[in-house]
Amino acid sequence: MDVIKQFEISKYSGGTEERASDSVVVEYSLTIYLNEKELVTLMCTPKSLDSLVAGVLYSEGVIETAGQIEDISVCEEDGTAHVTLIKERALFAESMDAKAAITKGSGGGKTIFDSSIEKPERIEKRNVIDPDKILALCRQFEKRSEIFIKTGGAHSCALCSQDEIILFEEDIGRHNALEKIFGKALLDDINPEDKMIFTSGRLSSEIIKKAAKRKVPVIVSRSAPTDAAVDIAKELNMTLIGFARGGRMNIYTRQV
Amino acid sequence: MDVIKQFEISKYSGGTEERASDSVVVEYSLTIYLNEKELVTLMCTPKSLDSLVAGVLYSEGVIETAGQIEDISVCEEDGTAHVTLIKERALFAESMDAKAAITKGSGGGKTIFDSSIEKPERIEKRNVIDPDKILALCRQFEKRSEIFIKTGGAHSCALCSQDEIILFEEDIGRHNALEKIFGKALLDDINPEDKMIFTSGRLSSEIIKKAAKRKVPVIVSRSAPTDAAVDIAKELNMTLIGFARGGRMNIYTRQV
């Protein structure tokens, strides 16, 4: 299965835009079934999936030895992995409530969106972007990232108008930084629907969906998007910009 | 509350080591209680915590307006936030099983370790590091990171001996890449206890604990650690190296 997908994008630099082909990492959804019961869904790279399944079970204490696995059967097309444990261990896994114990972080985030009640809709409101203003905001955004500048260990997120940063937050987690922005906007009654989200973090499908639920039409990252993020942005009519740094950026999708 | 903590570390570069003070990002644990019931624990940066709490509840559909929140009371010393919703919404939150719906990714990872049965123990086996060999491994590690080189959107992880890379994996998630390594080691019967873990990702407490559970004495990252990661590595007698790139590295803790 492909781990990289090609997209036709626009590269902006020094006042001009050029069409280009760009390699984007594939985000794949794998649902693990343990003895026929659904255990967890991981967002991952579709490679070494048997190792991933064994590692997750091992890491969470569901198994202690390779011998406790009777079989791991990965179906790449379906995005499923069926695991059969030997009988003694299956009883133990049942008793520990493996489902409750397993919740993965970072990229391997358990998909939470489907369990959420609020689905994102196509964004109708159009927000025309000015690439040079975005790059100017990027420079301000980087200067504001004090914890990152001092420690190298934090993500930044901002809500911006065309001309300025309205809200700015930092956190060790890129999801947390985004939640802080939307939480603050909610508490302070700031409408995000005509604004832009800037983030230092990678753009996964979950991040895009969170922005889409708040009807933010434009999302800008200094890092890479996944293929799923680009596909969702296109479907929901959002402008998605990646690698916005050093006076350049890649425009993956643009509102129509 | 401090969001940055100072550590006395060794900086290695060009064959020499120097003592230095280094700023490390603070990793803070916040447990959210919704109407007196424990909801979720987030690992985060202790800043704008009321915004974080509101954002998480909002993002997951527990609330739809600020007016549905009666009160958010954050106790920084305890690491707790108590949220009271207005009566109608509290009944709704009860019915949607908010606890099941909320599972955070990336840094905001729900803490899973405490629910796991296997606690890491102090590592007694000593593994002497050779800084120049580690830097040579770093160069090999970066060259092997094909998906990252092509897309900028993947994390790498490797299990290394003193001289070579034994296992190498890439994934969109830094946790997944680590799980793949330990899963593969388990399936192929490779003992990680005398080896080193290399990762491109940041070192949070959860990553260190996962390595500690497998008794890996040395963990090397090209990115930053959190304060909690450094504290745990010290407590468990592990060598923790950060910012290993470009012929330099920071040695935060060293096995004794």
Q: CB of A44 within 8 Å of any CB in chain B? A: yes
Q: What is the enclosing helix (H) or strand (E) of A176? A: helix A174-187
* Alpha-carbon span B244 to B10, nearest angstrom: 12
Taking CB atoms and an 8 Å limit, are B172 and A226 in contact across chains?
yes
Taking CB atoms and an 8 Å limit, are B171 and A24 in contact across chains?
no
- The encoded tokens of residue A71 equal 């079989």
The pLDDT value recorded for residue B60 is: 84
Nearest to B118 among A61, A110, A213 (CB): A61
Nearest to B174 among A60, A61, A106 (CB): A106
* Alpha-carbon span B250 to B242, nearest angstrom: 5
Q: CB of B178 within 8 Å of any CB in chain A? A: yes
Q: Kindly list the residues from chain B whose CB atom is less than 8 angstroms away from the CB atom of residue A154.
A: 25, 45
Are the beta carbons of A32 and A81 closer than 8 angstroms?
A: yes
Q: Using the 8-state DSSP alphabet, how is residue A155 labeled? A: E
- Amino acid occupying residue B222: R
Q: What is the DSSP string of chain B?
A: --SEEEEEEEEEETTEEEEEEEEEE--EEEEEEETTEEEEEEEE-SSSHHHHHHHHHHHTTS-SSGGGEEEEEEETTTTEEEEEE-HHHHHHHHHHTHHHH----TTSPBP-GGGSS-------S-----HHHHHHHHHHHHHH-HHHHHHS--EEEEEE-SSSEEEEEEESSHHHHHHHHHHHHHHTT--GGGSEEEESS-B-HHHHHHHHHTT--EEEESSPBBHHHHHHHHHTT-EEEEEEETTEEEEEE---
Nearest to B107 among A27, A43, A172 (CB): A172
Taking CB atoms and an 8 Å limit, are A172 and B4 in contact across chains?
no
Taking CB atoms and an 8 Å limit, are A103 and B103 in contact across chains?
yes
Residue of B171, B215, B223, B243 to mutate, testing the A interface (most A Cβ within 10 Å of its Cβ): B171
- Chain B from 92 to 121: CB within 8 A of any A CB: 96, 100-110, 112, 115-118
The ipTM estimated for the assembled molecules is 0.88
Residues of chain A predicted below pLDDT 50: 104-117
Q: CB of B189 within 8 Å of any CB in chain A? A: yes
Taking CB atoms and an 8 Å limit, are A153 and B50 in contact across chains?
no
Measure CA B2 to chain center: 19
The pLDDT value recorded for residue B112 is: 33
The pLDDT value recorded for residue A99 is: 65
Q: What is the DSSP string of B44-81?
A: E-SSSHHHHHHHHHHHTTS-SSGGGEEEEEEETTTTEE
Closest C-alpha among B14, B10, B9, B22 to residue B247: B14
Q: What is the pTM of this model?
A: 0.89
Taking CB atoms and an 8 Å limit, are B109 and A104 in contact across chains?
yes
- Chain B from 9 to 38: CB within 8 A of any A CB: 23-25, 27
The pLDDT value recorded for residue B98 is: 66
Q: CB of B44 within 8 Å of any CB in chain A? A: yes
User: What averages of pLDDT result for each successive group of 10 residues across chain B (256 residues)?
Assistant: 95 94 96 92 95 92 93 96 94 77 43 49 87 96 96 97 96 96 95 96 95 96 97 96 96 94
- Neighbour count for residue A21 (Cβ, 10 Å): 8
